[in-house]
Amino acid sequence: MRIVVDLDRCDSHGQCALAAPEIFAVGDDDLVRVLDEHPPDRLRPVVTAAAQRCPKLAIDVVDG
């Protein structure tokens, strides 16, 4: 699994960081950071929930 954030769509609402703080963070510059671009599959439910909470739908979870 790979996490891809479309930074052109992302408005840094931080919902992803609230849902999955081990994967996402909002920096001091108000930009979302992916802390682990290839998280283990056991975190898939958390990553999927974070992607679904994004108001701009800027997060994609890619298999492979």
Distance from C-alpha of 52 to C-alpha of 47, rounded to nearest angstrom: 9
Which domain CATH number covers 54? Answer: 3.30.70.20
**Spatial CB neighbours of 19, under 8 Å, sequence gap ≥ 6:** 46, 49, 50, 53
pTM of the shown model:
0.90
Which domain does 43 fall in, by range? 2-62
Number of domains the chain is built from? 1
For residue 56, how many other CB atoms are within 10 A of its CB?
Answer: 13
Contact (Cβ atoms closer than 8 angstroms) between residue 48 and residue 13: no
> Which pLDDT belongs to residue 14?
96
**Which pLDDT tens digits describe the chain residue by residue (64 residues)?**
999 999 999 999 999 999 999 999 999 999 999 999 999 999 999 999 999 999 999 999 999 7
Q: Which helix (H) or strand (E) holds 25?
A: strand 24-26
